[in-house]
Amino acid sequence: MIRESYLRQLWELLAPVPEKLRREWTYDYEEHFRASAELGRSEEEAASELGDPRLIAKELLLNYRVEQANHKSGSITLVSRAVFAAVSLGFFNLIFVLGPFIAILGVLLSLWAVAAAVALSSLMAMYEGSFGGAITGLQATFISMALIGLGMLLGAGANWLTRAFAKLTLQYLKFNSKVIRVRRG
């Protein structure tokens, strides 16, 4: 009875994972219960050897999210999911993972906004050159081209920084996951 409730709870906690992968993972835990029964151990002993199914599910989800983000070349959305999976593992991760992640994400978002604002300000230069009297149309054209170029450079820099940040975050999450496994084991 303990075996069935343990495996059911693990199955339900792993709901975000595709069913095929969930089956593979839960099969390993079913095998542990079978092997323990063959050795004459009770289901309670087998369950206590495995540990809390909630913690196991959180660790498996973290690894799944990290691999998923890694596979998709560090998509910031998938990296964010991995960060939130790491945060569920404990208070330490709430402070040392989520806090810096949100702060750096805010800086990156600001950089993207500046790049867009600089590029769009070229429209104001063109408007001033056409309808205002401060600059000529030729001057407005050159100013607009410079602003668009600067906006594109800032955008390229923001893109590079975003990708680098995603890769570094994934590397840290992998390291964090290993540390948690070592601490637990």
In a domain, 67, yes or no: no
CB 52 within 8 A of CB 46: no
User: Which candidate, 109, 119, 104, places its Cα nearest to that of 153?
Assistant: 119
pTM of the model: 0.77
Query: Considering the domain boundaries, does residue 167 fall inside one?
Result: yes
pLDDT score, position 94: 78
Given this model, what pLDDT does residue 96 score? 80
Pairwise CA distance, residues 95 & 121, whole Å: 38
pLDDT at 135: 93
Output the tens digit of pLDDT for each of the chain's 185 residues.
689 999 999 999 999 999 999 999 999 999 999 999 999 999 999 999 998 999 899 989 998 999 999 888 768 899 998 898 888 877 777 788 888 999 999 999 999 999 999 999 999 999 999 998 899 999 999 999 999 999 999 999 999 999 999 999 999 888 887 877 666 55
Model pLDDT, residue 183: 64
Q: Is residue 179 part of a domain?
A: yes
Tokens encoding 139: 């001057």
Geometric angle at alpha carbon 144, from 143 and 146, rounded to 5°:
65
What's the number of domains the chain is made of? 1
| Residue span of the structural domain in which 153 resides | 82-184
pLDDT of residue 71: 86
| The pLDDT value given to residue 182 | 67
CA angle 158, 93, 57 (to 5 degrees): 110
> Does any domain span residue 40?
no
- Whether 70 is covered by a domain: the verdict is no
For residue 64, tell me if it sits in a domain. Answer: no
57 occurs within a structural domain: no
**Residue 118 within a domain:** yes
